[in-house]
Structure 1
Amino acid sequence: MKTWKQNLNIGLTKAQVEESRRQNGPNTLEQEKRTSFLASFLQSFGDPIIKILLVALAINVLLFFRNFDWYEAIGICISILLATFVSTLSEYGSESAFRTLEEESARIRSRVRRAGGAEEIPIEEIVVGDLVLLQSGERIPADGILVSGSLRMDQSALNGESVEVKKSPAAGEPTENLAPEDPYSLFRGTVVCSGNGVMRVTQVGKATLYGTLARELQSETRNSPMKLRLEQLAGTLSKIGYIAAVAVALADLTHAFLIDNGFQWAVIAAQCRDFHLVVARILHALTLAITTVVVAVPEGLPMMITIVLSANMKQMMRRHVLVRKLVGIETSGSLNVLFTDKTGTLTQGKLTVSSFVTGDGTVHTDRKSLQKGPELWRLIELACAKNNESLVSKQGIIGGNATDRALMEYALPLSPKVSGAAIQSQIPFDSRYKFSAVTLTEPASLVLVKGAPERILPACRRWYAPDGSIRPLTGTSTLKSRLSSMTGDAMRVLALAVSEKQVSAEGSFENLILIGLVGIRDNIRSDAASAVRRVQKAGIQVVMVTGDNQETAAAIARECGILHGEETEWVLTSAEMARLSNWELKERLPSLRVVARAMPSDKSRLVRAAQDLGLVAGMTGDGVNDAPALKQADVGFAMGNGTEVAKSAGDIVILNNSFSSICEAVLYGRTIFKSIRKFIIFQLTMNLCAVSVSVLAPMIGIDTPITVVQMLWINIIMDTLAGLAFAGEPPLKEYMEEPPKQRDEPIINSYMKSQIGGTGTYTVVLCIAFLKLPFFINAFQGRDNPVYFMTAFFSVFIFAGILNSFSARTYRLNILENLKDNPPFFIIMLVVSLVQLLMIYFGGSVFRTVNLQLTDLFKILLIASTVLPADFIRKLYLKKRGRFRGV
């Protein structure tokens, strides 16, 4: 291949392109191999609750094989398959939406110069040695060196710095690896702010700096709070199930050997010597014990968790939040600390003119007040539009740096006299002299000067009044005070002035006439301050991590409400943080509010420090430099306009880049966790009742109070429908006023234990009383058909469960509170009730039911409804004791 200078005007031939692609590979990033749907489906079986279900299924199949009693086994199998399938489908579909974003970015095309002339090709077809033609607004497609032209680059995608960097052609072939600080190096993912040039490609695809960072994101992250809590719950349920099983087995053996024989020890001893009888009774006790374990397992829980996550994922999409990983939603609700970027998240992401100060010190925050003085406004228009490297085109404002574009936007729409003014000569901005100047032919020889206030203000002797008159500049102290105030508010301030004679390129000014001071900054979003307050009120510490200097960062943090002026609040620079040991950083972390001049490594270190303290840490970011921290954080919030690498590393993509959308993610995360807890209350109450009745009823002479088919309805169908009902619980503002849950906080809290134990115990007592008390027996058994009484009992059990669901969904005394915000709940419970009625009147021998008289059905509903006042009394008691905090 020829040298870089020889290639400058020629470009690669077709053969050279193929040879380069063969040697260096294509210009595509190395992506994690997408897990197939089948593999993802199989991985879902690693869920802790699913593991319990699999064990229960195996025991069930082995135990009941000889009787071919497959109903329970089939029910558990359906529950496992549906839960894992829906979970896999939801996350697979979310990942597909993310892949679509990646495919859209791959459609970007670049202009290259090859032996056949200039052509436009997809970025993946670019090879090492290609000459890429660059202009303002284009994204660099690969790594390389600038060989011609001059560019100003936005490298924030790599280093987080919003300051534009000037790039000039390399004097020769670089021999060392390229670095962002090199004056000639260009990197994939960075953007041309202004200028034109030609780049020779030196690295493509995974060999680029962009691709190297992408490969570093393969490390495993720690388990989510939800997985930890489910593992704890699985362990708790296993212990409860085993203890209950042992108790049931011992009770059964006691009943069989002792109670049935009236404690006659001679008869008991004789039976114990009968080997076959002993084995039969032990096998019966073992069967009853394992049945207890199977019934105690909450089959509907995995399905409900999947349903509630999937349902809320769709809700969040409507709020500009794309969830890549389902567990990321729930984890958002557990956040303790959130490390957030400034640019584009808290701020609008672009520079705008915020204020204008005239020579008398008057501050104008609205240009309409300036336009009342047409002569002064005309000078402002000329100074902003003509002493500027930006241009106005059909596509909008193009070229120039961010400051130039802000000034041009401030002057628009230009009046005909201003837009038609011709430029005679121009002195471009030079960082050494900190000014630029332009001489116009119309008005004749008008010299406009723009530059740093410290360069311009000392040479100003007069100023333009709003009416266009020129007055002596006497209030310099006021102007300096205004300047100090503006810089303190994170503004970049420029001075605009008129010179009555030509100025030199070195800027020898004298007798300038001040037009005014322009304050430019990246304004905070209108909803940023309120969103920060919401997050802080939710007990989440917000830490702003930015590349800005300490003064600017502190000013923005104060305006957003991150800093409150308290002495205990820390604002650190990257250098100051580097001098802290890990122990010292952890000690200061609770009071940390701002990290200025932040480096990419600082973000990962902050996340590690928070996690070492047992906190759930969130991180926002949009650049390649943010990707490692996004990956490491418990929840990574990638911005919608960010790089593909950042989106790949994040769990959630904030499509509108707004901090308020992060608030929504936190709110929905908390809502999901509460919905899961409400469902667990309902399901464990049902399972407690089913297990207790199944165990206690035989001891009072009632065999099989609930049949296997009826248990299938209770454990599977009703639980699944209830899962759908609780999945629609509304996100309430009050959830954002609660402190975050601890990472290892158990799913079942004291309130839940109270409701499961209290309501469950009352329902069990009600059911046993119904089966044993003469009052109920005489009321429903006098129908010449014993199945009639058992149908009435089954109906009481189910309707009590349905009514318990209303108590489970709210800790309030009014069980209908906020029910209108979850219409599916009432509809689903109505459907469950209707299905129950169908079972009563059409179930027949399959469901062991017969037709109930309407008067008896009314009595059953009245008996079942007593669970509501019973739970009302429990809630009232907790409220008076000050323990009325709910789930």
Structure 2
Amino acid sequence: MIVCCVGSNSTIGKHLKLILQQYSDEATPLEEKLAQIGLHIGIIGTIAAAVIFTTLSIFIISDVVEAGKWDDSDTEHVFTAFIFAITILVVVIPEGLPLAVTLSLAFSMKKMKEEKIFVKHLKACETMGGCQELLIDKTGTLTKNEMKVIKALIGIEKTNIRIPEVDSKVVSILGASVARNTTADVHSVDGNIEKAGNRTECALLMFLMHWGLNYHQYRNMKTQVMQVPFNSQAKMMSTFNVENPDDAALYIKGAPERIMRRCTHMLKSDGNIVEITSADKEKVNEKLIRWSQKSLRTIAVAYKAGSVKEIGLNDNPNKDEMDKATNGMVLVAIFGIEDPVRDEAKEAIETLRKTGVTVRIITGDNPDIATRIGKNCSILADDYDYNTNNDTIILGKDFDRRTGGLIVKEQDEVISYSIGDEQEFKKMEEHLRILARCSPQDKLLLTIGMRGLERIVAVTGDGTNDAAALQRADVGIAMMTATPMAKEASDIILLDDNIQSIVTAIKWGRNIYFNIRRYLQFQLTVNAVALFLCLIGAVAVKSSPLTAVQMLWVNLMMDSLAALALATQDPDSKVLESAPYGKNEYILSPWILANIIIQSVYQVTIVLIVLFWGPDIFGCEAGWNSDWPEEETVHYTLCFNIFVMLQLFNQINCRKIRPEEYNVFSGIFDNWQFLTIIVVEFSLQIFFIYEGGDFMNTEPLDPFQFVICVFIGATTLLVTLIFKLGVIKYYESKSAGHK
């Protein structure tokens, strides 16, 4: 053995170097959206805190001017105003948002593991929810990856694959041609067949075993002097075996169209070797087309025997010499190998298409097989004709040529990729559904191109050469049967190798997005109401009806407890009916913004009514007439309690964020976490009202007053219901008008 390179310079080393690169600075689509809305909330909160502090300070200074002196109580009031402004800032800034995201991701990750989906990176959970493009490997994902020889030609003659009805010389040549030019292994363990290595090679070895041949008798590694492994460019593998200088053999196997070009003769079933004519090749091509139309993978085997000199090689040939020698070969056999489409593949792809995900198949098979698979999986119409040449199916070499290929740059040990002709790529991708006869580089090219169009891309793969595409995708998905390198580069591993699990992953991913929206709808409503209440209170009555400690309790309820409650909602039956969110889509939909505005206006109105007319309604002393906040008052306690009750019931509202979801209590008893948190929040609020005293600045309410607070809080449910009914009614009438 000659060692030509080691470590990061080797092929596997280059792949490993790529997948070990750190991409921690690359934010996911959801992180970018949350950073954007966090910035907006922070700016608004800072302005509000500054306005409140300035307003309270003006009142303090005016009192000082009127009194003509500054005493210690004035310093204390300024300090209190400053603390309150900081509290407002703490309440408004969504520090609980990362907690809500992490909780939702962890909750979903745990649930996905129960459904045979292993998530390696938390971010992959939410990114799958926005998946717009799924580049799916045919072998092992759409198909079962259980290769089996079901048709065979000896030379160009059909043979019985169950019984070797051929000359013993043919059996011996076929056994040697397959066994010596494969690296896979098939053996029995406790009565079960275990396969190791390439599945196509395993199918060929199983074929020999069914013929009663022991391939180990033919596979003599001591005589093997050179082997050129299969590669996606040559579509061929070759091996040179030398018993002695006068007894040697060169074996090749690969795509029939590549092997046939190198064959001048063929082996007949009677053991004779005859010349291949043009008519023979035409006859073989016709059979191969029929096999391809039946979705059979085809592979040809050929050999050349004689002395080392007659074969055209020496005792230690190199790769180029091997390639030159593979001319004038003898065609031994052509096999038709079946890889059945998974039973669930068609249904899963139809579901993916309905959810707005564009599915594109990537395969090394020829266009005929690709067409058949596409039709079986409902990616292509039943009447699709490849000869129409509308870019629905594109060959890898044409795809690479027309897009200008993949441009690779390496700087400071960081590899970057780009596409030669982005405009041409954009034109092609509109129609492209299957990339046939493609190489791993074509797969990477398609991945890079789709991401360049601001799409959220998921890629499936199972081979070491797929590592680059898996790494560069937004989400890399590997099968459990994938190579270790592919698993290392992936974000998600399907433990059951089931394509339906991809649908499940998207379902949980979209549910995370919905949970974050539920949380934001709740939090922003609380923010808006608290800001308006404190701002108006500061301007109108020279003090806020809510103290800093009360605001911190609201913040705890809004951030931590609400995150726990709303981030653990299970996906419902309609979660897959929504379209995937785009990278540039604002996280707050118009409907959610409308809900926030309606609830905020209603809640602010209610709390202000209690603030200004509460003393008359409830028959209590006005809070601004007392030494607030040193002295507790029933009036401001009512304001605080009603404000909290409005938020508690609005938390129930936020479980359902679609217009058509009228019943906000639907499924509430299936989520014990939510119920527990609601009970805890309600219990703590009762405790704070009756036992909070000086710490919470609360005065105990009588039972009637507390019940009224609860009733007022519950009215938020009615407001949301009326709003939903009104919106649905409006759009129904608008649709009817268009008709």
Match of 1:798 among 624, 644, 660: 644
User: CA contact under 8 A between 1:384 and 1:408: conserved in structure 2?
Assistant: no
3-state DSSP of counterpart to 1:561: coil
Partner of 2:592: 752
Are 2:21 and 1:215 aligned? no
3-state DSSP of counterpart to 1:826: helix
Amino acid at match of 1:325: H
3-state DSSP of counterpart to 2:142: coil
Partner of 2:479: 639
User: CA contact under 8 A between 2:615 and 2:621: conserved in structure 1?
Assistant: no
User: CA contact under 8 A between 1:343 and 1:349: conserved in structure 2?
Assistant: yes
3-state DSSP of counterpart to 1:773: helix
User: CA contact under 8 A between 2:535 and 2:544: conserved in structure 1?
Assistant: no
> Quick one: distance in 2 between partners of 1:436 and 1:803?
83
Relative to structure 1, the CA distance from residue 569 to residue 762 in structure 2 (aligned partners, 3 Å threshold; closer, same or farther) is farther
Partner of 1:653: 493
* Aligned ranges 1:234-249 → 2 under 5 Å: 234-249=38-53
Shift, 1:436, TM fit = 8.6
Are 2:191 and 1:342 aligned? no
Shift, 1:405, TM fit = 5.4
Give the TM-score taking structure 2 as reference length.
0.71
* Aligned ranges 1:89-108 → 2 under 5 Å: none
Tell me the percent identity: 28
User: CA contact under 8 A between 2:359 and 2:433: conserved in structure 1?
Assistant: yes
> Quick one: distance in 2 between partners of 1:768 and 1:692?
9
User: CA contact under 8 A between 1:729 and 1:821: conserved in structure 2?
Assistant: no
> Quick one: distance in 1 between partners of 2:348 and 2:731?
31
> Quick one: distance in 1 between partners of 2:673 and 2:195?
54
3-state DSSP of counterpart to 2:139: coil
Shift, 1:337, TM fit = 1.2
Give the TM-score taking structure 1 as reference length.
0.60
3-state DSSP of counterpart to 1:806: helix
3-state DSSP of counterpart to 2:359: strand
Relative to structure 1, the CA distance from residue 346 to residue 436 in structure 2 (aligned partners, 3 Å threshold; closer, same or farther) is farther
* Aligned ranges 1:290-369 → 2 under 5 Å: 290-352=86-148
Match of 1:561 among 378, 392, 399: 378
Match of 1:814 among 649, 663, 671: 663
Match of 1:629 among 447, 469, 481: 469
Shift, 1:315, TM fit = 0.9
Shift, 1:354, TM fit = 6.9
Shifted more, 590-599 versus 309-318: the winner is 590-599
> Quick one: distance in 2 between partners of 1:690 and 1:224?
31
Are 2:663 and 1:846 aligned? no
Amino acid at match of 2:710: L
> Quick one: distance in 2 between partners of 1:825 and 1:722?
9
3-state DSSP of counterpart to 1:580: helix
Relative to structure 1, the CA distance from residue 557 to residue 278 in structure 2 (aligned partners, 3 Å threshold; closer, same or farther) is same
Task: Provide Cα deviations, 1:191-250, integer angstroms capped at 9, x if missing partner.
Answer: xxxxxxxxxx76665453212221133555543101211221122112222332344356
Relative to structure 1, the CA distance from residue 229 to residue 774 in structure 2 (aligned partners, 3 Å threshold; closer, same or farther) is closer
- The alignment's C-alpha RMSD in Å is 4.6
User: CA contact under 8 A between 2:38 and 2:93: conserved in structure 1?
Assistant: no
User: CA contact under 8 A between 2:440 and 2:466: conserved in structure 1?
Assistant: yes
Partner of 1:829: 678
Partner of 2:411: none
Amino acid at match of 2:31: K
User: CA contact under 8 A between 1:336 and 1:740: conserved in structure 2?
Assistant: yes
Partner of 2:234: none
Relative to structure 1, the CA distance from residue 816 to residue 507 in structure 2 (aligned partners, 3 Å threshold; closer, same or farther) is closer
Are 2:733 and 1:880 aligned? no
Amino acid at match of 2:647: G
Amino acid at match of 2:571: P
Shift, 1:869, TM fit = 1.1
Relative to structure 1, the CA distance from residue 774 to residue 676 in structure 2 (aligned partners, 3 Å threshold; closer, same or farther) is closer
Task: Provide Cα deviations, 1:377-411, integer angstroms capped at 9, x if missing partner.
Answer: xx864349996777766454468985685589799
Amino acid at match of 1:236: H
User: CA contact under 8 A between 1:549 and 1:597: conserved in structure 2?
Assistant: yes
> Quick one: distance in 1 between partners of 2:453 and 2:480?
30
Partner of 1:705: 545
User: CA contact under 8 A between 2:391 and 2:431: conserved in structure 1?
Assistant: yes
Shift, 1:493, TM fit = 7.0
Partner of 1:185: none
Shift, 1:802, TM fit = 0.9
Shift, 1:525, TM fit = 1.4
Match of 1:574 among 378, 384, 396: 396
> Quick one: distance in 1 between partners of 2:58 and 2:584?
40
* Aligned ranges 1:170-209 → 2 under 5 Å: 206-209=8-11
* Aligned ranges 1:12-27 → 2 under 5 Å: none
Relative to structure 1, the CA distance from residue 384 to residue 798 in structure 2 (aligned partners, 3 Å threshold; closer, same or farther) is farther
Task: Provide Cα deviations, 1:539-569, integer angstroms capped at 9, x if missing partner.
Answer: 1111112222222222222222222356755
Partner of 2:319: none
> Quick one: distance in 2 between partners of 1:830 and 1:533?
42
Shift, 1:878, TM fit = 2.2
Shift, 1:723, TM fit = 1.0
Are 2:582 and 1:742 aligned? yes
Are 2:664 and 1:664 aligned? no
The structure whose RCO (Cα within 8 Å, separation 6+) is larger is 2
Task: Provide Cα deviations, 1:464-504, integer angstroms capped at 9, x if missing partner.
Answer: xxxxxxxxxxxxx9x99997544212214799xxxxxxxxx
> Quick one: distance in 2 between partners of 1:399 and 1:608?
34
Are 2:443 and 1:603 aligned? yes
Give the aligned length: 605
Are 2:590 and 1:767 aligned? no
Partner of 1:101: none
Partner of 1:520: 337
Amino acid at match of 1:601: Q
Shift, 1:520, TM fit = 3.3
Are 2:527 and 1:687 aligned? yes
